[in-house]
Amino acid sequence: MDFTEEQLKRYSRHIILPEVGGKGQKKISDSKVLIIGAGGLGCPVGYYLAAAGVGTIAMVDDDVVELSNLQRQIAHSVETLNVKKADSAKKTFEALNPDVNVVAIKERLNSKNILDYFREYDIIVDGTDNFPTRYLINDACVMLKKPLVSGAILRFEGQVTTIMPHDGPCYRCLFEEPPPAGLVPSCQEAGVLGVLPGVIGALQATEVLKLIIGKGTPLKGSLLIYDALGVNFRKVKVPKNDDCPVCGKNPTITDLTDLPEEYCSI
Amino acid sequence: MSEVKIDKKLDIRGAVCPYTLVKSKLGVEAIEVGQVIEILLDYPEASDSIPKAMLNYGHSVLKVEKINPREWIVQVRKEVED
């Protein structure tokens, strides 16, 4: 593979790693990653993946940038207030690395469009924090057998897991159904430390890069829980559920359906 | 001593660290296990750091030779897949 002199410089710290090298860097530049949510999690995930040289990054978000986002959503700025978040993130990531093609998808995912979007990409990243979308994303990834790197945050705590459909548990193996609306507070109601999505998003980006280069152990079958106040990382094992309604032996969910949404863009 | 068969020659004169290593690593990736690459360099520090790095990657360093006051050659045999 041929790198330009600029690329040799830009990716030098990757290329000299035995686990990456020129071959791994080529895999990174050939890869296509779709990130749902250009918010607290999506910003750092997309930012680091753009820096790493991921060839195509899709940012899915239909919201616009608000001042209250800027405490944690680091791809946006006062320059992009009221601009669609997907466009704002595209501008930031392409300024960081012109090698990267950022696709701004300014739509809400639903049961009708999700499979068509996901099919085009190698890896899916969940940076939403509403349960209906989270379950829709999970089910779509299971049906398409797409690796899913999932993150969630609230207050001072975050969690990450990597779902390898049929080769480990999925989100429904852990919690079969979403909790009733209103039971789990959103970050709008409960708050979130601004740096927390940075920590969790960086972990998600790490998982994505490991999957792309095929090195290390994916965080499958475990939920990694980070408690910022106590400075604890806990890894909780999650078994695959043979009776899982979507990835089990006799799945009962074979079509995608839309649940009522109570959206919160982290 | 028998002559070593050189499968690939790489001229990285003018390159400084870390690009001496970046270019050498890519050179080794481009040959097969068992083949030998000969690297020509003129950055003094690299005459020391490249052989060390290649050993760390698991390859063999067959020769490090100062061929004139400003230039070195380093011969590396690829021993492991990338």
Flag whether pLDDT at A265 surpasses 60.
no
Give SS3 for A51. helix
Q: Which residue of B has its CA nearest to A20?
A: B82
Residue B34 lies in domain: 8-77
B41-69 average pLDDT score: 97
Q: Give the CATH architecture of domain A17-237.
A: 3-Layer(aba) Sandwich (3.40)
Residue A266 has pLDDT above 60, yes or no: no
What does the alpha-carbon distance between residue A235 and residue B34 come to, in Å, rounded to a whole number?
A: 42
Q: Which two tokens stand for residue B27?
A: 């050179």
Q: Which residues of A touch B22 (CB under 8 A)?
A: 8, 12, 15-16
CATH of the domain at B53: 3.30.110.40
Residue B71 contacts residue B42 (beta carbons within 8 Å): yes
Interface with A, mutate which of B10, B23, B25, B56 (most A CBs under 10 A): B25
pLDDT attached to residue B1 = 54
For A9, name the nearest residue in chain B, comparing CA atoms only: B19
Mutation pick from A1, A4, A9, A16 vs chain B, by most beta carbons of B within 10 Å, is: A16
Close Cβ partners of A60 (under 8 Å, ≥ 6 residues apart): A34, A35, A36, A37, A38, A86, A105, A107, A109, A117
Residue B18 forms part of a structural domain:
yes
As for how many domains chain B has, the answer is 1
Q: What is the pLDDT of residues B56-73, one digit of tens each?
A: 999 999 999 999 999 999
- For residue B1, tell me if it sits in a domain: no
Identify the contact set of chain B against chain A, taking CB-CB distances under 8 A: 18-19, 21-23, 25-26, 29, 53, 56-57, 82
Domain contains B73 = yes
Which amino acid, one-letter code, is at A252? T
Identify all chain B residues contacting A3, using CB atoms and an 8 Å cutoff.
26
Those residues whose C-beta lies under 8 Å from the C-beta of residue B10, and which sit 6 or more positions away, are B23, B24, B27, B37, B38, B39, B40
Report if residue B31 sits inside a domain: yes
Q: Give residue for tokens 């290390």.
A: A216
ipTM reported for the complex, 2 dp = 0.91
**Under 8 Å between Cβ of A35 and A125:** yes
Task: Give the residue extent of every domain in chain A.
Answer: 17-237
**Residue A104 forms beta bridges with which residues?**
A59
Instruction: Please report whether residue B37 resides in a domain.
Output: yes
Q: Do the beta carbons of residue B77 and residue B36 sit within 8 Å?
A: yes
Lowest mean pLDDT among A126-130, A203-207, B12-16, B59-63: A126-130
Residue B82 lies inside a defined structural domain of this protein: no
